[in-house]
């Protein structure tokens, strides 16, 4: 609980900070507060049986581990004597200490019931934390007081607790709540903001506890948040405690209540006496005990062996953690590794990035491959985008159980920008090779003979129908043939009443290729092949083709010379040009 209505008073100082702002920080966790929060979420019987509260704790821890947060659990010790009344009231025991009639100095602190269900939950959380490398500091009394001492002595950067009286114990930075959804954020309060915006220092907050009530006092009847803040501000932070303790505030005389309460707040004749003075009224004694409990709580000192022990580095125990998850959650080792190992790898990468950043600040600039500590990333596999955030899928160096995982791009940029440059150069080289690689094209020479035969038959039928010729008297036939040098040719058979003339159209992929010439005696039964690619039908030369075991076929190559032109040659040339024109149409 802490101080009554204090969170409402500090509302204007509340800040919502993205979770990643906690990276590379050391944090103290009031374990009891976290377990109460998680227990309220999983208060149903089935949830308790399945240990949902412990799974919630695990997911909080793995998120902070990935940010390279050094965590310390702090647990409650004995119950302070001054808090016994509040503690019994919360347990509904019906037994309550009368603060007005009992000298709290004669009471001893009360040891907690370590056999309760809540104590069992705390033990489970400590076992889980130790396997993850999170140490636990068992407080002497109040856990929030121990967290505040570590924070005020700069042994940690902040405290996770929901008890507002942590500020009264001296805390500087407090994280009241943590949320892992929507990218993750924390609710933060800082003492410097409270002093700047509200004008309340530590003494003023203790004064508010005296007036409004807290775990250590019932408060003064008739005071609400607004009136108490006005009184404290008017008194000032330096002298407010002395004025309240010794009745130096006139408003306290007029407070409505019982005669006994009015007597408690009567001004003391020795108003200027020190807290240790023997001349104190019962009311002064009560206030001074509360003030002393906040200013000098029972805690492990900052230089104690217990504090040094938890400040040391504690390694992650993979095998032990697998055993704990198998016992508590019934997870197989593979599932446990899937949950935690990517976070451990990301933590190691952040540590490497912090090392390089610190070295750079000290003026030591070393190339990646000359740093004594080896980079945990062995290479980048591909670029990805996760929930709108630019990331990289990377492979890890010497991390048992994990080969690849996804990390934020900005983290990789700060840790090893050389890896990103290597990856980009590799991608650019692949694109360059891909651009120079010719695309496959289907050439006419690659067409099958059957396809050529079919297309040519269709063209010839169209030519015959347009010229009005009779297929019986002037039939046309064609076929595709292959020459000795691998060229594809189309043989066209032109039949008339007296003779058979086969004209073979040689289609070559290279227009400038010349054909070897040879002389041969031709007859009417032999077939002539005409090269379509020659610009004009001149000076024929003959080339032999073989057509699937048939007799040789002469291929006529036409030169550009007009010296040896003949009427027969001119006739064939005209027929060929007419045929090509029809084919083009």
pLDDT of residue 92: 62
Q: What is the mean pLDDT of the chain?
A: 77
Per-residue pLDDT reduced to its tens digit, 3-43: 999 999 999 999 999 999 999 999 999 999 999 999 887 66
Pairing mode, strands 70-75 and 26-30? parallel
Tokens representing 54 are 């412990």
Per-residue pLDDT band at 563 (split at 50, 70, 90): very low
How many residues are there in the chain? Answer: 585
Assign 441 to helix, strand or coil.
Answer: coil
pLDDT of residue 450: 66
Per-residue pLDDT reduced to its tens digit, 35-90: 999 988 766 656 666 789 999 999 999 999 999 999 999 999 988 888 887 767 76
pLDDT of residue 208: 94
Is pLDDT at 408 greater than 50 in this prediction?
yes
Give the residue with greater pLDDT, 439 vs 420. Answer: 420
Token pair 């496959």 is at which residue? 440
Nearest to 158 by CA among 352, 15, 336, 1: 15
Asked whether 427 and 434 are in contact (CB, 8 A), the reply is no
Pairing mode, strands 136-138 and 70-75? parallel
% of the chain beyond a pLDDT of 90: 47
How far from 277 is each of 103, 104, 262, 387, CA to CA, in Å? 16, 17, 22, 64
Q: What strands, in cross-sheet order, belong to the sheet with 389-396?
A: 377-386, 389-396, 404-408
Pairing mode, strands 185-190 and 15-18? antiparallel
Give the residue with greater pLDDT, 464 vs 221. Answer: 221
Q: Residue range 171-197: average pLDDT?
A: 93
Is pLDDT at 397 greater than 70 in this prediction?
yes
Nearest to 37 by CA among 132, 140, 125, 133: 125
DSSP letters, 40-74, are HHT-SHHHHHTTHHHHHHHHHHHHHHHTT-EEEEE
What's the predicted TM-score (pTM) here?
0.69
Per-residue pLDDT band at 161 (split at 50, 70, 90): very high
Token pair 């005669």 is at which residue? 259
Give the residue with greater pLDDT, 173 vs 478. Answer: 173
How far from 294 is each of 168, 252, 356, CA to CA, in Å? 6, 22, 42
């Amino acid at each position: 609980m802490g101080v009554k209505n204090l969170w409402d008073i500090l509302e204007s100082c509340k800040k919502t900070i993205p979770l990643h702002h906690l990276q590379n920080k050391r944090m103290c966790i009031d374990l009891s507060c976290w377990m109460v929060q998680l227990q309220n979420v999983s208060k149903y019987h089935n949830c308790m049986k399945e240990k949902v509260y412990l799974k919630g704790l695990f997911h909080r821890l793995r998120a902070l581990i990935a940010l390279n947060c050094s965590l310390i659990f702090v647990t409650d010790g004995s119950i302070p004597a001054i808090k016994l009344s509040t503690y019994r009231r919360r347990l509904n025991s019906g037994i309550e200490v009368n603060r007005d009639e009992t000298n709290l100095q004669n009471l001893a602190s009360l040891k907690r019931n370590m056999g309760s269900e809540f104590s069992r939950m705390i033990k489970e959380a400590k076992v889980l934390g130790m396997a993850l490398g999170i140490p636990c500091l068992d407080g002497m009394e109040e856990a929030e007081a121990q967290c505040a001492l570590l924070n005020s002595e700069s042994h940690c950067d902040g405290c996770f607790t929901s008890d507002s009286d942590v500020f009264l114990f001296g805390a500087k930075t407090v994280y009241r709540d943590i949320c892992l959804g929507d990218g993750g954020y924390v609710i933060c309060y800082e003492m410097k903001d409270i002093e700047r915006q509200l004008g309340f220092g530590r003494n003023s907050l203790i004064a508010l506890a005296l007036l409004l009530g807290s775990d250590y006092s019932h408060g003064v009847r008739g005071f609400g948040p607004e009136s108490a803040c006005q009184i404290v501000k008017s008194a000032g932070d330096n002298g407010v405690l002395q004025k309240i303790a010794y009745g130096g505030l006139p408003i306290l005389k007029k407070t409505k209540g019982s005669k006994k309460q009015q007597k408690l707040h009567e001004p003391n004749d020795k108003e200027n006496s020190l807290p240790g003075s023997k001349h104190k009224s019962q009311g002064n004694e009560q206030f001074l005990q509360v003030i002393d409990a906040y200013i000098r709580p029972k805690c492990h000192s900052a230089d104690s062996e217990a504090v040094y022990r938890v400040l040391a580095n504690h390694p992650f125990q993979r095998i032990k953690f697998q055993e704990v998850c198998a016992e508590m959650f019934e997870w197989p080792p593979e599932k446990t590794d899937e949950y935690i190992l990517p976070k451990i790898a990301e933590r190691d990468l952040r540590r490497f990035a912090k090392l390089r950043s610190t070295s750079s600040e000290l003026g030591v600039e070393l190339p990646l491959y000359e740093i004594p500590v080896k980079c945990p990333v062995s290479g980048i596999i591909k670029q990805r985008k996760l929930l709108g955030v630019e990331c990289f899928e990377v492979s890890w160096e010497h991390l048992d159980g994990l080969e690849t995982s996804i990390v934020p791009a900005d983290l990789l940029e700060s840790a090893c920008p050389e890896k990103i440059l290597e990856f980009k150069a590799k991608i650019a080289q692949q694109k360059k090779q891909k651009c120079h690689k010719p695309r496959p094209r289907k050439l006419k020479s690659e067409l099958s003979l059957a396809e050529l035969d079919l297309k040519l038959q269709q063209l010839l039928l169209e030519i015959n129908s347009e010229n009005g010729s009779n297929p019986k008297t002037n039939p046309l036939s064609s076929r595709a043939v292959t020459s000795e040098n691998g060229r594809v040719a189309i043989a066209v058979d032109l039949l008339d009443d007296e003779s058979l003339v086969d004209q073979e159209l040689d289609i070559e992929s290279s227009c400038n290729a010349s054909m070897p010439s040879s002389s041969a005696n031709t007859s009417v039964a032999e077939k002539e092949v005409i090269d379509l690619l020659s610009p004009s039908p001149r000076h024929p030369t003959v080339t032999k083709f073989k057509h699937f075991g048939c007799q040789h076929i002469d291929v006529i190559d036409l030169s550009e010379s007009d010296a040896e032109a003949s009427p027969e040659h001119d006739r064939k040339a005209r027929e060929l040009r007419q045929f090509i024109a029809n084919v083009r149409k």
